[in-house]
Amino acid sequence: MEILMIVTAGIIISVSTYLLLTRSILRVVFGIVLLSHGVHLLILTMAGLMGGSPPLLTEDASSYTDPLPQALILTAIVISFGVTAFVLVLGYRTYKEHKTDDLDQLRGNGDE
Amino acid sequence: MNNIVVLLPVLIPFVAGVILIFFKNFSTIQRTISGLAAFILLFSSVFLTYHVYQDGILTLEAGNWSAPFGIIFVADLFAGLMTILSGIVGVACLFFAYKTIHKDREKFYFYPFYFFLLTGVNGAFLTGDIFNLFVFFEVMLISSYILIVMGGTKYQLRESFKYVVINIFASALFLIALAFLYSLTGTLNFAHLAQRIAEAEQTGVFNVVAILLLIVFAMKAALFPLYFWLPNSYYGPPTAIAAIFGGLLTKVGVYAIFRVFTLVFIHNIDFTHSVILFLAGATMFVGILGAVAKFDFRHILSYQIISHVGYMIMGLALFTPYAIAGAIFYIAHDMIVKTSLFLYAGVTQKITGTTDLTKMGGLLRTYPLLGWLFFISAIALAGIPPLSGFFGKFAMIVAGLDQGQYIIVFISLLVGLLTLYSMIRIFIYVFWGEPKIENDKDNPVKIMPLLLPIIPLAALTIAMGVFAEPIFSFSMEIAEQLLDPSQYIESVFKE
């Protein structure tokens, strides 16, 4: 199960790397979204998957799922949600002002 | 025991920011509240540091959940000093912003985000938990995204898109590093991490995590080779914002590197700290080459930021009390001087309407006070003896010679010389020669209100040089505290 999750996270992160390196603003934003998903999956997996066990309820539970990584991911999801919304607006405004979404043309020329 | 005073430098700007949101259309009210809050913030940071100095390291456990289970805030002397410095920079840039920030920007929540930025910065200094370091980094970064694009000019939009994407990528790497760290140690509390890694002996995979964290913080601190985003993105926003970014943001990355590599990853110094030493040399050299090559006031200053981050990291890499004390002294000096230099760039831009050195000239004739103040800060940055830049550099170079690291000493001396060259070049181009702007003489721009926040910074620069002895012995104490992690760990676990 862990191996599968790690491979999935790896695939998601490699796809997002590809998207981050493309020239279109919107694809870069999708890359950011996918990257955060991949990272969240990785956190969940790295903390150890305990399929079928509940989070810690009593002190004498024999097997339990560590609730901390889920709390961490929740925080990270909220942050990445806010940041994604901001990047979408920023990308849209950049597109409107510059009349292009090609990052090659947004390179700028040295001193301005 | 809980010390609410630890949280004050985080709470005050946060509450101030929230209150300011409600007054977005009332310029006077906004200015009054923000001015008051900035001074209270500075005062509370000084109070906190004094308290720490008297009673040792203070901690605050959120909700009384004891470490390592709860969220914890720790104020040691280093964190205290950093909050004082961020308070000073915050006050100076705020008062400069009153005179320079455009009305439209003021209405679009400039002040609230200014204070949220300070919240994130102070939170990053005071947190005792590496996941909260990430959260406060995000608080700081989101505010900085908004401040850097505020106004929405073409240039700003283009450059801040890159800035945002790079920082998001760094944050993702940070989370990956945290995932590894958690799976290896089962904790994210700094003190607990330090204990567990000491038990596990820092080998193999721990070094990978250490370097991963170094990459993340290097991106924030603009270390070689991850500095490329800085010069262009700091060029766009208004002066007050560029000044607080230049003074504060990279130093947060530097602080995080200091914290992690003096507390957590200290068991394989041969490897980690020699990587850091190499980065330090490369950063200062490449940074200064950029500064020498450029002909724009702000671009030069941006490259100077990069170059001087190298010095701070060099002090850490040498890893002796004397070198770290030098580095801490240097951080204090650099935050104050760098902020004031950015503000000078703003003043000259206000006078001449440009930041291009070749288009300015002869300002010394009309604005002698501005010229000589700039001269003081410029030679302080280069490290000329009676001023603040000298002592930190001197300590680090002596420590470097003691350790036999002659290459880094040579590079740092060479970079010092080139810094002097690039600062004097600004002075010659901007202040000497014939005035190039018409009607300069008859109609001088009123710059006194603009100089008001700069004069205290320049005075501090001189004071730090003249009274270097007590300040340096204070940095020495900080360095000894940093190099003795057991103090930090004991104060967190109350053993």
Interface test with A, best of B134, B157, B169, B216 (most A CBs within 10 A): B157
Q: Look up residue B238 and give its DSSP letter.
A: -
Q: How far is A55 from chain B (nearest CA, A)?
A: 16
Cross-chain CB nearest to A79 (options B138, B152, B294): B138
Classified as helix, coil or strand, A111 is coil
**Are B154 and A98 in contact (CB < 8 Å)?**
yes
Phi, psi of B440 (to 5 degrees): -60, -45
Give B390-448 pLDDT, tens digit per residue.
888 899 999 999 988 899 999 999 999 999 999 988 888 888 877 776 555 556 677 78
Residue (of B254, B307, B304) closest to B283 by Cα position: B307
CB B366 within 8 A of CB B431: no
Q: How far is A36 from chain B (nearest CA, A)?
A: 6
Amino acid B442: pLDDT = 58
ipTM of the complex: 0.92
Is the CA virtual torsion A13, B132, B259, B78 positive or negative?
positive
- Count of A–B CB contacts within 8 Å? 89
Domain boundary assignment for chain A:
2-49+66-98
For A20, the closest chain B residue by CA position comes to: B165
List C-alpha distances in Å: B80 to B8, B54, B83, B165, B397: 11, 12, 5, 31, 26
**Are A83 and B182 in contact (CB < 8 Å)?**
no
Interface of A with B (CB under 8 A): 20, 25, 28, 32, 35-36, 39-40, 42-43, 46-48, 68-69, 72, 75-76, 79, 82-83, 86-87, 90-91, 93-94, 97-98, 106, 108, 111-112
CB B118 within 8 A of CB B41: yes
Other CB atoms within 10 Å distance of the CB of residue B427: 17
Q: How far is B440 from chain A (nearest CA, A)?
A: 25
Beta strands (DSSP E) in B253-412 are: none
Cross-chain CB nearest to A46 (options B131, B183, B188): B183
Please check the confidence at residue A110 and state whether its pLDDT lies above 60.
no
**Are A35 and B169 in contact (CB < 8 Å)?**
yes
Q: Which residues of B touch A93 (CB under 8 A)?
A: 152, 157
CB A103 within 8 A of CB B180: no
For A30, the closest chain B residue by CA position comes to: B165
Classified as helix, coil or strand, B203 is coil
Give B243-283 pLDDT, tens digit per residue.
999 889 999 999 999 999 999 888 888 888 889 999 999 99
Q: Report how far residue B105's alpha carbon sits from residue B101's, in angstroms, rounded to the nearest whole number.
A: 7
Cross-chain CB nearest to B179 (options A43, A86, A111): A43
CB B181 within 8 A of CB B130: yes
Q: Report how far residue B464's alpha carbon sits from residue B467's, in angstroms, rounded to the nearest whole number.
A: 5
Residues 6+ apart with CB under 8 A from A4: none
Amino acid B165: pLDDT = 92
Q: Report how far residue B148's alpha carbon sits from residue B156's, in angstroms, rounded to the nearest whole number.
A: 7
List C-alpha distances in Å: B328 to B48, B118, B309, B338: 18, 20, 12, 15
List C-alpha distances in Å: B374 to B2, B380, B428, B437: 45, 10, 11, 20
Cross-chain CB nearest to A46 (options B146, B182, B235): B182
Cis check for the bond before B225: say yes or no (omega within 30 of 0). Answer: yes
Cα B495 from chain centroid (whole Å): 33
Which residues pair with residue A55 across a beta bridge? Answer: A65
Q: Which residues of A touch B158 (CB under 8 A)?
A: 94, 98, 106, 108
**Are B160 and A90 in contact (CB < 8 Å)?**
yes
Please provide the average confidence, as pLDDT, over all residues in chain A: 85
Q: Report how far residue B322's alpha carbon sits from residue A84's, in angstroms, rounded to the nearest whole number.
A: 45
Q: Which residues of B touch A76 (CB under 8 A)?
A: 134, 175
For B163, the closest chain A residue by CA position comes to: A87
Cross-chain CB nearest to B158 (options A46, A48, A98): A98
Q: Report how far residue B93's alpha carbon sits from residue B343's, in angstroms, rounded to the nearest whole number.
A: 8
Q: Report how far residue A50's alpha carbon sits from residue A67's, in angstroms, rounded to the nearest whole number.
A: 11
CB B10 within 8 A of CB B40: no
CB B74 within 8 A of CB B122: no
Interface test with B, best of A33, A64, A94 (most B CBs within 10 A): A94
Amino acid B48: pLDDT = 92
Is the CA virtual torsion B303, B304, B310, B313 positive or negative?
negative
For B137, the closest chain A residue by CA position comes to: A79
CB B13 within 8 A of CB B119: yes
B153 φ/ψ sector (left φ>0, alpha ψ -120 to 50, else beta): beta
Q: Which amino acid is located at A98 in the chain? A: H
List C-alpha distances in Å: B469 to A60, B47, B322, B391, B476: 59, 22, 13, 9, 10
Q: Report how far residue B250's alpha carbon sits from residue B221's, in angstroms, rounded to the nearest whole number.
A: 4
Cross-chain CB nearest to B176 (options A39, A94, A108): A39
Q: Which residues of A touch B178 (CB under 8 A)?
A: 43, 72
Q: Report how far residue B199's alpha carbon sits from residue B209's, in angstroms, rounded to the nearest whole number.
A: 16
Domain boundary assignment for chain B:
4-493
Cis check for the bond before B68: say yes or no (omega within 30 of 0). Answer: yes
CB B123 within 8 A of CB B170: no
Phi, psi of B129 (to 5 degrees): -150, 130
Give A14-23 pLDDT, tens digit per residue.
999 999 999 8
Amino acid B142: pLDDT = 93
Is the CA virtual torsion B229, B231, B232, B234 positive or negative?
positive
Please check the confidence at residue A49 and state whether its pLDDT lies above 80.
no
- Residue where the block lists tokens 């503000």: B343
Residues 6+ apart with CB under 8 A from B467: none
Give the pLDDT of chain B (495 residues) as one tens digit per residue: 568 888 899 999 999 999 999 988 888 888 899 999 999 999 999 999 998 998 888 888 887 887 778 888 999 999 999 999 999 999 999 999 888 887 777 788 889 999 999 999 999 999 988 999 999 999 999 999 999 988 878 888 888 898 999 999 999 999 999 999 998 888 889 999 988 888 887 778 899 999 999 999 999 998 888 888 888 888 888 888 999 998 899 999 999 999 999 998 888 888 888 899 999 999 999 999 999 988 888 889 999 999 999 999 999 998 899 999 999 999 999 999 999 999 999 888 888 888 888 888 788 888 888 888 899 898 888 888 878 888 888 999 999 999 888 999 999 999 999 999 999 888 888 888 777 765 555 566 777 888 888 999 999 998 888 888 899 999 999 999 998 888 888 888 875
Q: Dihedral of the CA atoms B476, B481, B483, B488 (nearest 10)?
A: -170
DSSP3 helix / strand / coil % (chain A, rounded to 5): 65, 5, 30
Amino acid B251: pLDDT = 92
Residue B303 tokens read as 């490259």
Segments in B56-129 forming alpha helices (H)? 77-100, 103-107, 110-126
Q: Report how far residue B280's alpha carbon sits from residue B399's, in angstroms, rounded to the nearest whole number.
A: 15
Other CB atoms within 10 Å distance of the CB of residue B486: 12
Give A62-97 pLDDT, tens digit per residue.
777 788 888 899 999 999 999 999 999 999 999 988
Cα B171 from chain centroid (whole Å): 19
Q: Which amino acid is located at B283 in the chain? A: T
Amino acid B2: pLDDT = 63
- Strands B72-75, B58-61: parallel, antiparallel or unpaired by DSSP? antiparallel
Q: Which residues of B touch A79 (CB under 8 A)?
A: 135, 138, 171
